[in-house]
Structure 1
């Protein structure tokens, strides 16, 4: 038996490498570059850094109703299940790519009954006769990955799988923040409904007072009509708020997977909900905490591996092939010793002239990498802006609340004085209406500012990653995940 020696295989590979030098990939390279932390205005300052958020960050608000809503949404959301299905598909693709790096073994059994031509290769008595033939053998092959083509394809698949995993986490963060913000909108509207009901009751009491004064001859019908006109306006405001509450309940029910639920959700009081303390400084490691940024970075990794794979296609492929089994004409002799057959040897394929197909493929992969890099850069710029916006809004709302509280205290005091003067006959009813208008405006503003404060806190939590942390990666992807998620102040990803 003549076997191909390892030295012969290596020599053949080296010769093929020299021949393939005519496949030119010069002049084709990606042009884009990743933005680093200093270029984004991020600096490392551990003393001011925000501690990592918990995965279930909404529990910090101390609202059990919100906790229950989040649990329902995360358990039944179709958008999360869709993201998980995409992740499973990407992970299956990594298994396919990994299989290409390993030896392949196949079994073959062929049984055929055929008529052999009388004017062909086979002599009589087989020529022109009907006969059975059979083959039973095993065949093995292994592509020797000298230039890393299969490894690059596997790395690309791993990058896509990790991007899909980050996308699934991004979908989770987005859903959780949508549930929290919608719930806080319902809380705000419920408080506004309370203000509207208090307004209606207050105007009913005022109308009773005016009627008593008209009956006593102390006021005219003008004051009575003015007071009566306030009731429809108060009812209108209450109806408008209740309509918004109904629509918000519908949106919340859809988020938790219970549309058209007959059970009316009763939100907590605004004052019972705790605030989350957040740092006013944008952390340098922000970009490692956001799942969407991690997904964009993984796509850069996958595109980079695709470029490497496209380059390896300029080089030859070397396969080691072997087979062993039985083959005979006439099934009765199929398993006889004389029917044995086997073979072993290398199979070499190399590109010599392909009319520019390989260069075009490489140019396309390089363009894909540029697109992935610029998508990443756009994502990180938007992330920094997002956090800066939420931090600015949080600080501005806090200042507005302080000023509003002082304004409301003054309006409430002025209203009390106006009512007392009116009852004592020292002031007219227009003074009461003017003071009441200021009080109601301040009450509504207080509720709106408190609602904005809660919603902005949720938006800031989402902007800071929403508790995202890379999941425990499968064995095949763990090494890649560990390296790609290392972030420092001098480089977003080392």
Structure 2
């Protein structure tokens, strides 16, 4: 009997299996002709090798220190940056995004594991007398109860869950890199604001010296007018310089207040700068950085790494969209009790159970899957081009800082010579005026040149420090690629 029954079962199972296989193959919608067309830029295409050769004499092999700002040797600045990194709201926002992205990883990982949930349903119901239920059930009011455990496990034959996990990991790693990039940017912004504050303080000193100098000159002119050596024209010219100098001082006071407010906002503590000593440019030492554009620039910057991880996340989304064209296979099971009358719900005769496979596959979906894949491919193209744009901006940024650092150094050499000449001319003009050999117009002209050179010296000194801040940031701010969440760091082309 058993030998006769087995061929009979096999004979019935084979057509069913064949039908299921045919249905699966028919349900796999066509995804041909849809894909990403954008290409990632690599270091060679950006000319980084040529840029390095161009600056061969000024290369720096060592990476930027992660606490590069300590090179300025200013304890006050160090404390401000540490406070900003600890309490800035923008960093807290970036950290919250990272936490959310990590939660998405846990959600994606859970989809690949068995799921079990419990359910309890109870209802007070009247059964129809004109339906399938015979008397005495039909027409009666009964209590119905169900107590059940339901389980399912999706068998990821085609990698849908793996693709979703890869996308979540890419997004989380991008969020981690973006948080690091925000830290680098915040540190550089605090350093720049501090340098600006010091520059304005130096400019205020020059402006006050200008006011004092013009006040001394006014006294001299008054004495000469009283002695009949000068006219009221020279007196009015000298008097006009005082309001102008006072206006410059007032304008600088305003700019200093605004600079301190900006620093307070970066530190996230209103009034933080009130307790600080007014900085000077002399209190900030030059950072030991050499101008170079390294071949591994793309791997040193957190913002580029974030853009590259966004490409990885978009690639995972494309892979996930492709898996939707294939069948979804899962195992389901349930066990529990069901009864008519809640008093019977926990009795052994009320138990029920069941298990079996489930297959879901697309057959006719009106082009929805192709449209979804096309959208994900477009998102991947956008992520790739965003990465390319970030790379180009990074190379331009580094090149700009290199050029500025070299140019400012050359400008300072010329400015010092010009200032020495202007101050010498001013001394001669004053001596000639006091001796009655020159007019006051010569003194004003010489004084204007001296003050302009002093202001320019302050501006160039501040720019030299700012370009060092910019160069440290452009070279990555000491960020090192690491495994932020899971997997490996993306390979930069």
Q: TM-score, normalised on structure 2?
A: 0.89
Q: Is 1:73 matched with 2:84? A: yes
Q: 1:478 aligns with which of 456, 477, 486?
A: 486
Specify the alignment match of 2:440 in structure 1.
429
- Structure 1 residue 416: Cα displacement: 2.0
> Any stretches of 5+ residues in structure 2 without a counterpart?
1-12
Specify whether residues 332 and 236 from structure 1 end up closer, same or farther in structure 2 by C-alpha distance, changes over 3 A only: closer
- Structure 1 residue 213: Cα displacement: 3.5
Equivalences for residues 321-400 of structure 1 within 5 A: 321-400=332-411
1:43 partner SS: helix
Note if contact 2:263-2:273 (Cα within 8 Å) is conserved in structure 1: no
Note if contact 2:327-2:360 (Cα within 8 Å) is conserved in structure 1: yes
Specify the alignment match of 1:3 in structure 2.
none
- Structure 1 residue 32: Cα displacement: 0.5
- Structure 1 residue 367: Cα displacement: 0.8
- Deviation per residue, 1:168-216 (Å, 9 max, x gap): 2222222222222122111111100000111111122222333333444
Q: 1:33 aligns with which of 30, 39, 43?
A: 39
- Deviation per residue, 1:317-362 (Å, 9 max, x gap): 0011111122222333333332221111100111111111111111
Within 1, Cα distance between the matches of 2:236 and 2:325?
A: 91
- Deviation per residue, 1:217-243 (Å, 9 max, x gap): 444444333333322222222222222
Specify the alignment match of 1:294 in structure 2.
305
Q: 1:411 aligns with which of 422, 446, 452?
A: 422
2:49 partner SS: coil
2:486 partner SS: helix
Q: 2:249 aligns with which of 230, 238, 245?
A: 238
Residue range with higher mean Cα deviation, 96-105 or 47-56: 47-56
Equivalences for residues 229-308 of structure 1 within 5 A: 229-259=240-270, 263=274, 265-308=276-319
- Deviation per residue, 1:150-173 (Å, 9 max, x gap): 110111111111112222222222
Residue range with higher mean Cα deviation, 28-37 or 275-284: 275-284
- Deviation per residue, 1:12-40 (Å, 9 max, x gap): 89826852465111111110010011000
Q: TM-score, normalised on structure 1?
A: 0.89
> Any stretches of 5+ residues in structure 1 without a counterpart?
1-6, 487-491
Equivalences for residues 424-463 of structure 1 within 5 A: 424-463=435-474
Within 2, Cα distance between the matches of 1:13 and 1:346?
A: 16
- Deviation per residue, 1:252-304 (Å, 9 max, x gap): 22222234679365432111211123232211211222222111111110110
Note if contact 1:17-1:315 (Cα within 8 Å) is conserved in structure 2: no
- Deviation per residue, 1:294-317 (Å, 9 max, x gap): 111111101101110011111000
Within 1, Cα distance between the matches of 2:179 and 2:19?
A: 43
Note if contact 2:293-2:399 (Cα within 8 Å) is conserved in structure 1: yes
- Structure 1 residue 387: Cα displacement: 0.9
Within 1, Cα distance between the matches of 2:273 and 2:74?
A: 22
Specify the alignment match of 1:464 in structure 2.
475
Specify whether residues 425 and 395 from structure 1 end up closer, same or farther in structure 2 by C-alpha distance, changes over 3 A only: same
- Structure 1 residue 55: Cα displacement: 2.9
Specify whether residues 13 and 116 from structure 1 end up closer, same or farther in structure 2 by C-alpha distance, changes over 3 A only: same
Q: 1:200 aligns with which of 211, 227, 237?
A: 211
